[in-house]
Homo-oligomer: A and B are copies of this chain.
Amino acid sequence: MGASLQRQKEEKKHNLVQAAYELFLEKGTTKTSIDEIVRRANVAKGTFYLYFQDKNEIWDAVVARVSNHILLEAKEALEQRNLPDMIDRILFVADYVIEYFRKNILVLRMIRRDFSWPLVLKKMEQEQDNTLLQMLDQCFCSPYLSRYSMEESYRMMFIIMEMVGSISYTSILHDQPAPIDEMKPVLFHTIRKILL
């Protein structure tokens, strides 16, 4: 197979995921038919099934792409600042994610609570992409945490991350228990307490 053919294949798959992403965003997963996806991707019906078993599989691909995108954005923003303090770094990332969801409510509504950092990380590991692991190292490498083992730090981190995602969902979309602006101070205070 020629290299250009290989590229064409990649492009087709990419187009499908992109089309699915857009449609899921616009009308929700269940209301989006595979028919619409292929139409928007300018690809034949059968081609879809060349790359994905069914709608769930392309859904996973969309979630992975979106989650990855958000975290990478956060990572890049973090690198531009030069925050010496670990807690500040973590709070920065938490805030970045929350703000992303606030600005992109549709994205939040789409991936609901499927924005799960552990799962994204797992996927990345499988694909031997450790960009995000780097970010985690950047965030958490600190004398603060020296009293915890490596494992323990990671797990604490995960807990914080799940917390941020979960609160974002309930607070931004349903204003429960309160609007996100009122939740943020409590949330950040909580994170500080956890890390100190």
A contacts, CB < 8 Å to B: 30, 112-113, 116, 118-119, 121-122, 151-152, 154-156, 158-159, 162-163, 165-167, 170, 174, 176-178, 182-183, 186-187, 190, 193-194, 196
Contact = CB atoms under 8 A, between A and B. Distances in A.
Contacts of A194: 190, 193-194
A174 B113 contact: no
Contacts of A170: 116, 118-119, 158, 162
A194 B112 CA distance: 26
A159 B163 contact: yes
Contact of A190 (B30, B118, B156, B176): B156
A186 B174 contact: no
How many copies of this kind of chain does the complex include?
Answer: 4
A177 to B, nearest CB: 4
Chain A contact residues: helix, strand, loop or mixed: helix
Given A156-B190, A190-B156, A122 B176 contact: yes
A178 B159 contact: no
Task: List 3 tightest A-B contacts by C-beta distance, closest first.
Answer: A118-B176, A113-B113, A162-B166
Contacts of A116: 170, 176
Given A159-B187, A159-B190, A162-B166, 8 more contacts: A30-B30, A118-B174, A122-B174, A154-B177, A159-B183, A159-B186, A163-B163, A193-B196
A187 to B, nearest CB: 6
Contacts of A121: 177
Nearest to A152: B186
A74 B165 CA distance: 25
A167 B157 CA distance: 12
